[in-house]
Chains A and B, each alone.
Chain A
């Protein structure tokens, strides 16, 4: 039986290498739940065994069922008529399979019918689902909405909605974007108003809403009349009904299997979720951070699929009397694709580990009585919060750009065949294209990450990685990374000294990319220390990164202001 978990050596390596003991211990309350729920793990080994078994099941569903259906789903998509969205029968079958497998509430707590799995394992599922059908991920991934209700909703709201998410009876959507509010969510206008009994209603428009036909909606709306910034926004829960109209669904380049809706709210009754005025500043930021991890995994899944098709094709296609993967121009591309994918995967699961720790400690801070919160818990919650805020956008920028470049190369390797609809290569290219746009463009990920880069948030994470007992080739590669780090610190200092926000913003992307090279380089070096067969991977990665990093650092420290000074002359020539 084909299996997307069993057949993926790199994913298995990452799984075996996971260090989740601390995060899982916190999440399972030191395994107290085992006494109450007969499926809860009794210790860390038991938990890991559960994760592996469930990942194997999902790997099989993805490979055997979902992937088989993905071409038809892409071609035919959902149907829209008379204000009603109907998903493709095969999409519904996919969801039924995932529901039967019990993975519609992967991270939700046991008490609400969830599996209480860490984000890391959920992300691995996301990656496999996306490899099979990227558009299905947009439905599978909407369990992040339940997660947000779980984190910020009242006990009544949790009891009302969460068990139905876990059982797959309800689906969700997060309604943020409006025609005039995309990247700039502070300007959201959809109005929330209260009648004299205190009942809230929502009125206005939303656009580009993934699965906007969902039963349960989380809506960002302006609850404070007269306000105009993010502090006037609150989060609401509402349900599908006659007052909530799907006006149309979009005709998109990719992710055809999922409906992207335009919504009109005609005084839709709603409940406030969490506190007023914190809608954007706290809840949506949290929701987006979760979704960004998910999109990183979606992109990675697409990249994995695109690489495999290209690799297979290059091995089978013969030109000039040999298979094309024997030509340097082709195997160079394949090598680079593979290394980029592994770098993105390494970055992603380093990120989810930190996300799990952040979630765990944030939860303790919230749930424990004040006198039980030790300075250590406080310290860790703060540390991992900051680190997750850096790694999440770094990972999203990396994964989604890698997915685009790998899918691009995937078509290139197929040649003219890849341009035809008969092969999957073009679908991966189309599906990848949204990943570096939604949930924040790469440009916005850079904005989110650059502060942490300037503040050197990554440094404490690098220290232990730098002091491992490397010898021989690994030592030489480490020297290169050390050199890159020294240059990066100098470049950061240079930017600080310039005191020029425009130059800072223009150079930010380069700094974030070099930071990513360094962190991923050290992580991959550590992997090779324990698994010598990975030495060639890290060697390729560091050697390529070294050259590119030096060029980028040179640009950053050049003080070249010509783009800032002359861009109009060039653009408008």
Chain B
């Protein structure tokens, strides 16, 4: 008896390794200057799904909403052990806030269908809202556990998981199907050599089309045959549009996003003056005292 787990992931600009100007003058993120990476906590969500697959048997389907090149994080998911991948991409999705995003993802989850668990990273490093997972659970009328560290037990009816709370943790049980958002509490497994060698050839249909166009070759029959061949080897990444997931055009993209950016403020963080601490027991004890008293520690 195998479970079906959906993991929703996001390709994000690498805010840790900023090369050049991170923000455009208009205050939006300059994605071109930042390398695109797999959102770190989404890797933790994927790892949790793969652990459940190892322990209980499961099919792991990874989905993402994003521009065509977000297929890269889907390939990476396949390298790490995911079974199937779905790219939700459409110009109509562009400009989505968390509400529109969670709606689009809920449509995607419905089309995937028949799932036992949905796992998401707690939050993405570009927006840091931590809203999409919980909103998605609401839209799908699923019970949700946020800030999950690990799953203690899974059976056909329910999942028991440990979630972080301030100053400790709690263990909760919820009925399946359920949604879990996962924090940085496991070590994502590395990409697997053999899977890389296989799935580096995985493509979405628009990637295939683009490769044909680059080769100055647009025979649609050949394209269809190639797509078929890829699909038969498990190398076709599903690519779904808004229409494919039957999304209401009014509820997606900019149109479906009530969040309006009114103002962006540029905050420059400056290091204040440095302070010398004597490398003696006294000096260190004084430093500890200060750190505790201003609540940096403790």
The reply to whether chain A is a binding partner of chain B is: yes
Contact residues, B231-255 vs A (CB, 8 A) = 233, 235
A101, B191: Cβ atoms closer than 8 Å = yes
Stretch at the interface among A49-57, A193-201, A357-365, A537-545: A49-57
The answer for the CA separation of A115 and B195 in the assembled complex, in Å, is: 10
Q: Which residues of A contact B200 (CB under 8 A)?
A: 49-50, 53
A39 close to B197 (CB less than 8 A) = yes
B31 CB contacts on chain A under 8 angstroms: none
Closest Cβ neighbor of B81 among chain A residues: A100
Question: Which of A38, A49, A57, A97 is in CB contact (< 8 Å) with B193?
Answer: A57
Q: Within the assembled complex, what's the spacing in Å between the Cα atoms of A407 and B174?
A: 57
Tell whether, in the assembled complex, residue B189 and residue A102 are in contact, meaning their CB atoms are under 8 Å apart. Answer: no
CA distance A65 to B188 in the complex (A): 11
The answer to whether B198 and A100 touch across the interface, beta carbons within 8 angstroms, is no
Is the pair A50, B197 in contact by a Cβ cutoff of 8 Å?
yes
Contact B190–A50 (Cβ < 8 Å): no
Q: Is B22 an interface residue (CB 8 A)?
A: no
Query: Does any Cβ of A come within 8 Å of B208's Cβ?
Result: no
Check B190 against A115 for contact (C-beta < 8 Å).
no
Does A61 belong to the interface (CB within 8 Å)?
A: yes
Q: Which of A409-436 contact B (CB under 8 A)?
A: none
Which of A61, A102, A103 has the most CB atoms of chain B within a 10 A radius of its CB?
Answer: A102
* B198 contacts A97, C-beta separation under 8 Å: no
Question: Could you mark each residue 187-210 of chain B with 1 if its beta carbon is under 8 Å from any beta carbon of chain A, else 0?
Answer: 101111111111010000000000
* Chain A positions within 8 Å of B190 at CB level: 57, 60-61, 97, 100-101
Docked complex Cα distance between A65 and B196 (Å): 20
Residues of A within 8 A of B194 (CB): 39, 102, 115
Residues of B within 8 A of A53 (CB): 196-197, 200
The contact of A54 among B196, B198, B233, B235, by CB within 8 Å, is B196
Minimum CB distance partner of B16 in chain A: A1
Contact, CB under 8 Å: B191 / A39: no
CB distance from B224 to the nearest CB of A (A): 21
Measured CA separation A102–B193 after assembly (Å): 5
Name the residue in B192, B198, B200 with the highest tally of chain A Cβ atoms < 10 Å from its Cβ: B192
Query: Once the chains bind, are A57 and B198 in contact (CB under 8 Å)?
Result: no
Contacts of B195 in A (CB 8 A): 39, 102
Q: How far is the CA of A65 from the CA of B191 in the complex (A)?
A: 13
Within 8 A of B (CB), among A1-55: 38-41, 49-50, 53-54
Q: How large is the interface on A (under 10, 10 to 19, 20 to 34, 35 or more residues)?
A: 10 to 19
Q: Which residue of B lies closest to A42 (CB)?
A: B201
Complex: how many Å from CA A54 to CA B200? 11
When the two chains form their complex, are residues A101 and B197 in contact, meaning their CB atoms are under 8 A apart? Answer: no
On chain B, the residues within 8 Å of A50 by CB distance are: 196-197, 200
A66 to chain B, nearest CB (A): 11
Chain A residues lying within 8 Å of B193, measured Cβ to Cβ, are: 54, 57, 101-103, 115
CB distance from A91 to the nearest CB of B (A): 15
Among B2-61, those with CB < 8 Å from A are: none
Residues of B within 8 A of A40 (CB): 197
Give residues of chain A (88-107) contacting chain B, Cβ–Cβ below 8 Å. Answer: 97, 100-103
Bound complex: CA A558 to CA B192 (Å): 58
A498 CB to nearest B CB, Å: 53
Residue numbers in B under 8 Å from A41 (CB-CB): 197
By beta carbon, the residue of chain B nearest A64 is B190
Q: Give chain B's interface secondary structure class.
A: loop
Cβ B189 vs Cβ A38 within 8 A:
no
Q: How many residues of B are in contact with the other chain, CB < 8 A? A: 14
CB distance from B216 to the nearest CB of A (A): 20
Give, as a whole number of angstroms, the nearest-CB distance from B39 to chain A. 14
What residue in chain B is nearest A49 (Cβ atoms)? B200
Are B192 and A100 in contact, CB atoms less than 8 angstroms apart? yes
Distance to closest chain A CB from B51 (angstroms): 11
Cross-interface CB contact of B192 among A38, A60, A65, A102, cutoff 8 Å: A102
Task: State the CA gap A372–B160 with chains docked (Å).
Answer: 63
B233 and A97 contacting across the interface, CB-CB below 8 Å: no
The answer to whether B189 touches A97, judged by C-beta atoms less than 8 angstroms apart, is yes
Q: Report chain A residues within 8 Å CB of B197.
A: 39-41, 50, 53-54, 115
How many whole Å from A5's CB to the nearest CB in chain B? 13
Say yes or no: A38 contacts B233, CB within 8 Å: yes
B18 to chain A, nearest CB (A): 14
Q: Specify which of B187, B192, B198, B233 is in contact with A101 (CB 8 Å cutoff).
A: B192
A479 CB to closest chain B CB (Å) equals 45
> 0/1 per residue, A57-69, Cβ < 8 Å to B?
1001100010000
Within 8 Å CB of A57, what residues of B? 190-191, 193, 196
Tell me the bound Cα distance from A57 to B80 in angstroms: 11
Residues of B within 8 A of A102 (CB): 192-195
Q: Point out the residues of chain A lying under 8 angstroms from B235, CB to CB.
A: 38
Q: How far is the CA of A101 from the CA of B196 in the complex (A)?
A: 10
Interface string of B156-200 (1 = CB under 8 A from A): 000000000000000000000000000000010111111111101
* CB-based nearest A residue for B198: A39
Which residues of the other chain, A, contact B189 by a CB distance below 8 angstroms?
A: 97, 100
**Chain B residues within an 8 Å CB radius of A61:** 190
Tell me the bound Cα distance from A60 to B37 in angstroms.
Answer: 15
Q: Output the least CB separation between A108 and chain B (Å).
A: 11
> Which A residues between 274 and 293 are near B, CB-CB below 8 angstroms?
none
Smallest distance from the beta carbon of B7 to chain A beta carbons, Å?
A: 17
* Bound Cα distance A65, B187 (Å): 10
- Closest residue of chain A to B80 (Cβ to Cβ) is A100
Query: What is the CB-to-nearest-CB distance from B190 to chain A, in angstroms, rounded to a whole number?
Result: 4
What separation, in Å, do the CA atoms of A100 and B233 have in the docked complex?
Answer: 22
Instruction: Provide the residues of chain B in CB contact with A39, threshold 8 Å.
Output: 194-195, 197-198
State A39–B191 Cα separation when bound (angstroms): 14
Question: In the complex, what's the smallest C-beta–C-beta distance from B230 to chain A, in angstroms?
Answer: 11
Instruction: Give 1 or 0 for each of A61-87: 1 = CB within 8 Å of chain B CB.
Output: 100010000000000000000000000
What per-residue 1/0 map shows which CB atoms of B48-78 lie under 8 Å from chain A? 0000000000000000000000000000000
Q: Does B198 contact A38, Cβ atoms closer than 8 Å?
A: yes
Q: Which residues of A contact B192 (CB under 8 A)?
A: 100-102
CA distance A50 to B195 in the complex (A): 10
Residues of chain A within 8 A (CB-CB) of B196 are 50, 53-54, 57
Q: Which of A50, A57, A100 has the most CB of B within 10 A?
A: A100
A50–B233 Cα distance when bound, in Å, is 18
State in angstroms the CA–CA spacing of A364 and B190 once bound together: 35
- The CA of A38 and the CA of B201, in the complex, are separated in Å by 10
Taking CB atoms, residues of chain B closer than 8 Å to A103 are 193
Chain B neighbourhood of A101, CB < 8 A: 190-193
**Which chain B residue has the least Cβ–Cβ distance from A98?**
B190
Which residues of A sit under 8 angstroms from B198, Cβ to Cβ? 38-39
Cβ-closest chain A residue relative to B200: A53
Closest CB of chain A to B47's CB: distance in Å? 10
- A338-368 CB contact bits vs B (8 Å, 1 = yes)? 0000000000000000000000000000000
Q: Which residues of A contact B187 (CB under 8 A)?
A: 65
Binary per-residue interface labels of chain B (107-130) against chain A in the complex, 1 for a CB within 8 Å, 0 otherwise = 000000000000000000000000
CB distance from A64 to the nearest CB of B (A): 9
Task: Pick from A41, A49, A53, A61 the residue with the most CB of B within 10 Å.
Answer: A53
Excluding A60-B190, A65-B187, A101-B190, 10 further A-B contacts by CB distance (< 8 Å) are A38-B235, A39-B197, A39-B198, A49-B200, A53-B197, A97-B189, A102-B192, A102-B193, A102-B194, A115-B197
Q: What are 15 A-B pairs with beta-carbon distances under 8 A? A: A38-B198, A38-B235, A39-B195, A39-B197, A40-B197, A50-B196, A54-B196, A54-B197, A57-B190, A57-B196, A61-B190, A100-B189, A100-B192, A101-B193, A115-B197
